[in-house]
Structure 1
Amino acid sequence: MKTVLITGANKSIGFETARQLLQQGYYVYLGCRDIKKGEQAVNQLKSAGLNEVEPIEIDVDDTRSIKAAGELLAQKTKVLDVLINNAGISGDMPQTALETDINVFRQVFETNFFGVIEVTQTFINLLRQSSAPRIVNVTSGLGSLTLHNDPTWKYYGVKPTSYVSSKAALNAYTIVLANNLQDTPFKVNAVDPGYTATDFNHHSGPGTVPDAAARVVKAATLGADGPTGQFFSDDNAPETGISPW
């Protein structure tokens, strides 16, 4: 049975991603900052007959929490097949380049960028034990620098500075990570789940959580002939599914 760790998975897209992977036969380690909320999420899944799941306490902003999660998971399994870096925050709004407090930038980058790097580095040895390891970095269409310079883009005027910058940085890290692992079985990709109605955006998005999660699951379950180092976005590129960086 393949194993997967999903950060920020006790609700919304992360939770639905867990549900869909459980339905595909994966064993899910449901990462959550608050273990009680994680246990509640696990109980909800088990009540639906999805039993191959357990919570893992992990705060991606906290080095000690990440290290403890890494040590705990290494006691539970010798192999991690998939890592989904899903945890993320938007930061206080509105955000402009000149007026957003520097501490907002630091907070957003800590979760959306530095947290991803530290989690990835912590679990890389378990991933290396898999015959087909997959890393999925959940990004945003707003992380595309190319599209932010296109006045015809539908989101051209939407520029929450710290969030955009953190996701652009995450995209850059994804490219470099994929390149560093290009001669291995790893598939490393960034996935834009789309503008989805969640707590994250006060349920303002037109997309559904199941559809968003399905995009993440697709990247997490790529076959050996699947791409690596790509920015998947049905929202930005409905025809090809590949967004410009």
Structure 2
Amino acid sequence: MSRASSGIGLETVGLLAQTRPELHILLGTRSVEKGAKALESLRATHGDSLKSDISLLEIDVTKIDTITAAKAHVESTFGKLDVLINNAGIIVTKPCDTLTNLRETFETNVFGPAVVTETFEPLLKKSASPRLIYVSSDQGSIGNRLDPDYKWYSLRGDYYRMSKAALNMLSACHRVNYAEWGCKVCAFNPDFCLTNLTGERGYEMRKKWGARDPKDPATALVDLALGKRDEDFTKMGIIDIDGSVRPW
């Protein structure tokens, strides 16, 4: 399951659906209408190359009722969950005070994934080979933040950085906590790529600055989900697209 009505998540669903016919992919979306359009776009783009079934799953990580309803649906329909990709994320760009910015940023980037994972944990436990992937960012690396040679050293983004650092700690805690029942956990860095994370204006800015195609991180996420890169789940740090590691 991945929150996936746009950007990296949608690319991941599309690529994953082209791999194995026995898979059933749950495309998480806050809006059923937007999710349906995204799914229609996938089918129009990939056509007969889509081997797997894809279903929409209404879920908003900031609304507990949608999370519990989504879990109930997955449990009654499938009985288990093999892979959970926590891909929800925002950057607050509207003018607002510090407290409002922090609350909104952490609500989606940290609190939501924590509650989603806790809610779906019983279904992951029923999988023979469970995997939990947090889509994080090198912006949350404290080591990178203090390195003057880091390419984004001069970029502020304090609140977003703080939220991703917290998400990295969450992934580290779950790696330890879930080891006893065999769940593989990692924090993944999709790198600077074309997404709608910062709206249309931000998308154009990213394109101008040479952001990479979201298919690159999506390809890596598919390999992680399918067990082709299980060694990455044991590495100490944030996993890059190519398997290298960013410092916590």
**2:60 paired residue number:** 59
Query: Does 2:15 correspond to 1:20?
Result: yes
Identify the match of residue 31 of structure 1 among 28, 39, 55. Answer: 28
Query: Per the alignment, in what secondary structure is the counterpart of residue 154 of structure 2?
Result: coil
Unmatched 5+ stretches in structure 1 = none
CA offsets 1:151-192 (integer angstroms, 9 cap, x no match)? 111111112111100000000010010011223321100111
* TM score, norm. by length of structure 1: 0.88
Identify the match of residue 42 of structure 2 among 41, 45, 65. Answer: 45
More helix per residue: 2
Unmatched 5+ stretches in structure 2 = none
Give percent identity, aligned residues only: 34
CA offsets 1:129-169 (integer angstroms, 9 cap, x no match)? 11110000000110100110111111111121111000000
**2:2 paired residue number:** 6
**1:79 paired residue number:** 80
Quote the RMSD (CA, aligned, Å): 1.9
* TM score, norm. by length of structure 2: 0.87
Report if the CA contact (8 A) 1:10-1:37 is conserved. Answer: yes
Structure 1: distance between partners of 2:105 and 2:15: 28
Report if the CA contact (8 A) 1:185-1:224 is conserved. Answer: no
**1:233 paired residue number:** 240
**2:221 paired residue number:** 216
Query: Does 2:144 correspond to 1:143?
Result: no
TM-aligned CA distance change 1:53 to 1:160, over 3 Å: same
How much does 1:90 deviate?
0.8
AA aligned to 1:40 is K
- Tell me which stretches of 4 or more aligned residues in structure 1 moved more than 3 Å: none
Query: Does 2:218 correspond to 1:206?
Result: no
Matched residue count: 232
Structure 2: distance between partners of 1:229 and 1:192: 15
Query: Per the alignment, in what secondary structure is the counterpart of residue 29 of structure 1?
Result: strand
CA offsets 1:81-100 (integer angstroms, 9 cap, x no match)? 10000011011268xxxx95
How much does 1:221 deviate?
2.2
